[in-house]
Structure 1
Amino acid sequence: MSKDNIINLNQARKSKSHLKRRAQANENAIKFGRTKAQKRIEDLDAARAAAALEGKKRQDDE
């Protein structure tokens, strides 16, 4: 008889599931992730563009 390692099937299932979720999270981070600095820069650019647009609006005299 050979000595095989005894494994807990529930732990093996959970480990496999965990690895699958981790791989999906890594793919999503690559695809959609942005750093905090990148988000801040984009927010500042959007605010700057909105302010510039607001300054160029026509004023109606009523």
Structure 2
Amino acid sequence: MAQPVNLNRVRKQRARDAKKARADENAARFGRSKAAREADRARRDKAARDLDGHKREG
């Protein structure tokens, strides 16, 4: 005889799997690569250094 199946558990697991698949798809589509994040951070750091270099002492 087969084991009884909890339909609520199956339904919720199917919903979780669908949500995870959609999240992975969005991450691939809209996520930024590591190189893009590092380039952005380097630009920000350079802008901060340039701004600090223009400050007047006094």
Is TM > 0.5 for Structure 1 vs Structure 2? yes
Q: Give the TM-score normalised by structure 2.
A: 0.67
Bigger share in helix: 2
Percent identical: 31
| RMSD across aligned positions (CA) | 1.6
Larger Cα-atom Rg:
1
* Residue equivalent to 2:41: 43
TM-score of the two chains, using structure 1 as the length reference: 0.63
**Residue type of the alignment partner of 2:18:** L
Structure 1: gaps spanning 5 or more residues:
1-7
Runs (4 or more) in structure 1 with deviation over 4 Å come to: none
